[in-house]
Chain A
Amino acid sequence: MNEPLQLISDFQPSANLMQFIEISILTLLLVVSIAMLRMRRLFGVVMLSGIYSFLSALFFVALDAVDVAFTEAAVGAGISTILMLSAMLLTARREKPFVPGHAFLALLVCVVVGGALVYATFDAPLYGDPMAPANAYVGQAYVDRMAVEISMPNIVTGVLASYRGYDTMGETAVIFTAALGVMLLLGLGSERGGRVVSDVPPEPEASPSSDSTAQNSTAQNSTGQKSPAPTANSPIGREDAP
């Protein structure tokens, strides 16, 4: 109980097995991200982004962030992949072939920004340093006070809901607002008939199609699911909700 203090004065990073695991996961992340950049089939890109999320969840577990890993695996790899798949179904399956016109400028921007960031890492606190400013003062104070003030074994939950309650409330409000935004954006019909438009080739934008649009939408409103556009080919069995 009254052991002498454990003073960590000069931090020496040591290579251990855990660090090699982390390094290999990070390398895999980089490989997956480059594959995502190069792939043109959006289905493959979305699947790779799911893999990317799982890999980063694995990395978070290796770095003791179990709550974050949990969330990343559920949200990033689950919900996010589903949403991107359905959005891909509604937009395009395939990216247009890449034209290397302004690629040089983009590459230049990335190299300059990346170089500046790499230069900055030589002043950054070392990986795993317990005396880094982020770890030593504020973070450790939460750990020290948690047992007495909140009495909650999971420090992350305690900080999330009690110490940073305002923050979490704002984030809940952001999620609420995002859901409202999606409802407003996708809950209404589009100009060209909206939810009952089927696999007809898109009309050119410049052609005056306002009359047919009006007819189409009135037909949709009056006849409901018996609208002329067939919906039988829908991958998910669905008909218009009134």
Chain B
Amino acid sequence: MWDIILERYNYWIVIALMMVGLYTVISRGNLVKTLIGLNLFQTSVFVLYISMGKIMGGTAPIFTEEDYDKRLKEGLADDQWTHLTFRPEGAHHEVSGHETSGHETSGRETSGQEMGAADHGGDLATGNDLHQSDMMAGNALDVSASSEVTTNSISNGIISHDAPIDMAQSSSLGLQSVADTIEVYQPLPRIVSPLADVIYSNPLPHVLILTAIVVGVATTAVGLALAVRIREAYGTIEEDELEAADAIAEFGTPSFPHETSAKGAA
């Protein structure tokens, strides 16, 4: 019972905050108060996003110094990572020489590419690489191919079940490979941080919310400017008084005719 509360308390409070904001927006007629309620709702969405990105035992997503050095050293060899980000024309052939066998087998199923998030230009045909390692397992593995396979499979978090990775080969690089057989679509144990031993919270919600905060204040400023102009035009920012002023200007009565007729009928 205590666990159930503990692991969902964040969500519940966030929902309560959202509903307070929503209630303020719906029930209050004052335009400034409505905008403040909208702000309340907005901030509670921020809190929701940030609490979804929290990883227990993690730390802020800024590399510690030794972890950063370790990742730089072990991530990929210096002359191999360039083609991950951008591949100029000359380097293309040089790099793809390693991948020839992989491309030949590309007719087979390519199942490893669920996640294309950081995939620049589609160079990292993950499925191809995995099957390449499948074919070449047992042979003397090319260093670049092996490191590529390991990095990709770790980044994907999902290993094709028919891709055994040469343990000896990868551990000689200082990289640990993932468990042997993991079904493709099952949420099975995942390495939290494969390259180093520091866990970082998910940086992606932070990025989204960071920009959203600044954009939020800018759009709030536009709303407040509208409220100021409404006040100057009508002399009030209360919704019912605005409606009454409109009705007087148009019909000469403090409420719209269809409303009064409906009330009369009732």
Contacts and interface: CB of A to CB of B under 8 A. Distances in A.
Interface of A: 1-9, 11, 13-15, 19, 22-23, 26-27, 29-30, 33-34, 36-37, 42, 45-46, 49, 52-53, 56, 59-60, 63-68, 71-72, 75-76, 79-80, 83-84, 87-88, 90-92, 95-96, 98, 102-103, 105-107, 109-111, 113-114, 117-118, 121-122, 124-149, 151, 153-156, 159-160, 163-164, 167-168, 171, 174-175, 178-179, 181-182, 185-186, 190-192, 194, 197, 202-203, 205-206
Main secondary structure of the interface of A (DSSP, over half): helix
B192 to A, nearest CB: 5
A71 B32 contact: no
B204 A159 contact: yes
Given A6-B193, A110-B22, A136 B157 contact: yes
A84 B36 contact: yes
Given A109-B26, A128-B55, A149-B81, A72 B249 contact: no
A231 to B, nearest CB: 16
Main secondary structure of the interface of B (DSSP, over half): helix
A203 B235 CA distance: 8
Given A3-B197, A175-B218, A102 B202 contact: no
B84 interface: yes
Contact of A171 (B22, B60, B114, B214): B214
A65 B206 contact: yes
B32 A87 contact: yes
A36 to B, nearest CB: 7
Contacts of A129: 55-56
A186 B29 CA distance: 23
The 5 closest A-B pairs by CB, nearest first: A202-B235, A128-B56, A139-B202, A178-B218, A147-B71
Interface in B81-118: 81, 84-85, 114-115, 117-118
Contacts of A105: 26
